[in-house]
Chains A and B, each alone.
Chain A
């Protein structure tokens, strides 16, 4: 097991470098990092020349990747080319906000999704099952941005009609103070969390239902019933525990989807998260900031895939790694 973990960690390091290298190649060949600067007539040619020298833009792209890597490790992603602001403080600030939203949403979706999945599987083809099957079909068909927009419009209307503020529809905090765990913050992030968890809930409830139905007809469950265990104990002890194992992988894979969903949701609710940061920087073609986002999110996804793989081996003793 330990050798497996070590091997798996070592394997993900070249994957990480390769994926950042590929996105760097792509971004550098497809876009010109100085396009915005060159368009501005007030910036003299000498400044542009200095920018090129400072950022090693006169080198070939693979060499620039090496310089970029040096910047990543020594200067924390370096500076933006457009306004010479350091990138790292923005990333750390926004990623905290996004993490709060995504983790709450993921937690809620997993909890509710698993509960609904278990219940639908036990009462297969009941009214409850059909109702939640329809809801999850809707969840799969619903564009994230539309759901976010509907919630926003709904709560704006509630505020305008009855003047009660249940949830805020934009921003992260009212006023200039930033407090991570306050009622005010929770009121602000409630709608983004709701959007993301509704989308993920559809996924978890479907997978949990299918996975329960896989297990529920196996022989050892019949044995458990035959030896006279109560139905509750059979479901909770024998079926659920095995049905939950595939959910671990789904949860890790869904994280990438949630980061994508966060881009859209944060843009709709103008929430100062990393997705909104990315969209803004992409809009101004600030390519080094875009690269920083791609690299950071790749690391997050790879780390979570790693955790899921290791957990899977730990939870399912039938899987052997040697």
Chain B
């Protein structure tokens, strides 16, 4: 972006002074000259570049649209589902998918409408996925920030813990925790998942903090009297937001998959709360009724696929080293 030369006869604009929030305002004369010449001066931030890159990422947009539809259906389940998830109709047991009576996905072994159950199941998955991602990101962010910034013994302990977690059979520990403490409740399961999933994000944040704490601008902030908290949260933390957003998005998918596996094995969310894993399990007891297995499973696949696409798009968009917009 080359600055246009001031028009002849105009005085040279004064030296630009950075304002308090750090942005440099374009001098009044220059803006006028540019506008007079018929050109537009557009100040673009990193975020607007990222937004452009994301919007041009084809797979990410497909994923986003799919996700909005699926999660929208889940969020407005009470308007969209034609039946309640527990309404029993013993005259229509194990009915194949049909448009008659809006049983799009058929009915299960006690005649409950499967379409409604899947929609309500999406809602459960979505609540678990999003809450686990938010909580585990916050925990990971705090732990990563503290251990990366202070290094020393805090860092040592944290890294030993994450090493230790890597040596444990992850799914087995989760199953044990869910069986002993979960009590089949959605919120207990979410908390257990969040408490076991934060180590990945902590590692990423720690890496960024370790590399940035030696930078000159941190030193400058220290020299001008900023406290540790201010440097950590005001100066370094914004740089970790990119990777944290990407990781957080992808951990929604992980949480949904793990919750489905737990519920499928009978240690996760228990009926009557409809969960996609429990629904697939009811497909196992009726293998001849293909719709009982196909629809909830396919829904999980679609949700996870869409989240992964969006996550990949975000990764490409938020990486400032990468200017190339991928087709």
Give A residues with C-beta under 8 Å from B.
15-16, 18-19, 22-23, 26-27, 30-31, 137-138, 140-146, 149-150, 152-153, 156, 253, 256-257, 259-261, 263-264, 267-268, 278-279, 282-283, 285, 290, 293-294, 297-298, 301-302, 305
Which chain B residues lie closer than 8 Å to A305 at the CB level? 166-167
The answer to whether A149 and B168 touch across the interface, beta carbons within 8 angstroms, is no
Indicate if B287 sits at the interface (CB-CB under 8 A): yes
Question: How distant is A62 from chain B, measured CB to nearest CB, in Å?
Answer: 18
- Report the bound CA distance from A23 to B253 in whole Å: 26
> Which one of B169, B181, B257, B287 contacts A297 once the chains associate, using CB atoms below 8 Å?
B169
How many residues of chain B get a CB closer than 8 Å to chain A's CBs? Answer: 39
B175 adjacent to chain A (CB < 8 Å):
yes
* Contact call A298/B169, Cβ cutoff below 8 A: yes
Contacts A15-B164, A156-B287 hold; do A278 and B172 have CB atoms under 8 A apart?
yes
* CB-based contact B305/A149 at 8 Å: no
Tell me if A263 and B287 are in contact (CB < 8 A): no
Taking a contact as CB atoms under 8 Å apart, the answer to whether B176 and A290 are in contact is: yes
* B266 nearest CB neighbor, chain A only: A283
15 contacts between A and B (CB under 8 A): A15-B167, A144-B261, A145-B265, A149-B280, A149-B293, A150-B297, A152-B284, A153-B287, A256-B166, A256-B170, A263-B171, A268-B284, A279-B175, A294-B169, A302-B167
The answer to whether B202 has its CB under 8 Å from any CB of chain A is: no
Cβ–Cβ contact B301 & A146, under 8 A:
yes
State whether A297 touches B265 (Cβ < 8 A): no
Evaluate contact between B261 and A150: CB separation under 8 angstroms: no
**Are B179's CB and A19's CB within 8 A?**
no
Kindly list chain A residues whose C-beta atoms are within 8 Å of the C-beta of B294. 150
In the assembled complex, the Cα of A143 lies from the Cα of B254 at a distance in Å of: 10
Which of B171, B179, B280, B283 gathers most chain A CB within 10 Å? Answer: B171
Q: How far is the CA of A15 from the CA of B161 in the complex (A)?
A: 10
In the complex, the chain B residue whose C-beta lies closest to that of A260 is B171
| Complex Cα–Cα for A267 and B267 (A) | 13
Closest to A299 in B: B167
Contact, CB under 8 Å: A263 / B164: no
Rounded to whole angstroms, the CA-CA distance of A149 and B289 in the bound complex is: 12
B308 interfacial contact with A, CB 8 Å: yes
Query: Contact: B265 with A137, CB < 8 Å?
Result: no
Q: Are B280 and A260 in contact (CB under 8 A)?
A: no
> Known interface pairs A145-B261, A264-B261. Does A23 touch B301 (Cβ–Cβ under 8 Å)?
no
0 or 1 for each of B259-281: is its CB under 8 Å from A? (1 = yes): 01100111100000000010010
**Chain B residue with minimal CB distance to A146?**
B297
Complex Cα distance, B34 from A116, in Å, reads 55
Give every chain B residue within 8 A of A18 (Cβ-Cβ).
164
Q: Which 9 A-B pairs have the closest CB atoms?
A: A260-B171, A146-B297, A141-B304, A30-B180, A31-B180, A297-B169, A141-B305, A145-B264, A141-B301
> B284 contacts A260, CB within 8 Å?
no
Whether A149 contacts B176 in the complex (CB less than 8 A), given A141-B305, A256-B170, comes out as no
A293 pairs with B280, CB closer than 8 A: no
Shortest Cβ gap from B302 to chain A (Å): 8
Which residues of A sit under 8 angstroms from B171, Cβ to Cβ?
259-261, 263-264
CB of B163 within 8 Å of the partner chain: yes
Question: Is the CB of B76 closer than 8 A to any CB of chain A?
Answer: no
Please, which residues of chain A bring their CB within 8 A of the CB of B264?
Answer: 143, 145, 264
For the complex formed, measure the closest distance between the CB of A271 and the CB atoms of chain B, giving whole angstroms. 14
Contact check: which of A26, A149, A282 meets B283 at CB < 8 Å? A149
Q: In the complex the two chains form, what is the Cα distance from A27 to B169 in whole Å?
A: 14
Q: Tell me the bound Cα distance from A47 to B73 in angstroms.
A: 55
**Cα distance, A263 to B178, chains bound together (Å):** 15
Q: With a CB–CB cut-off of 8 A, which chain B residues contact A282?
A: 175-176, 179, 267
Do A301 and B290 form a contact, CB below 8 Å, given A138-B305, A294-B176?
no
Let me know if B293 and A153 touch, CB within 8 A.
yes
Asked if A145 contacts B172 (CB within 8 A), the reply is no
Is B177's beta carbon under 8 Å from chain A?
Answer: yes
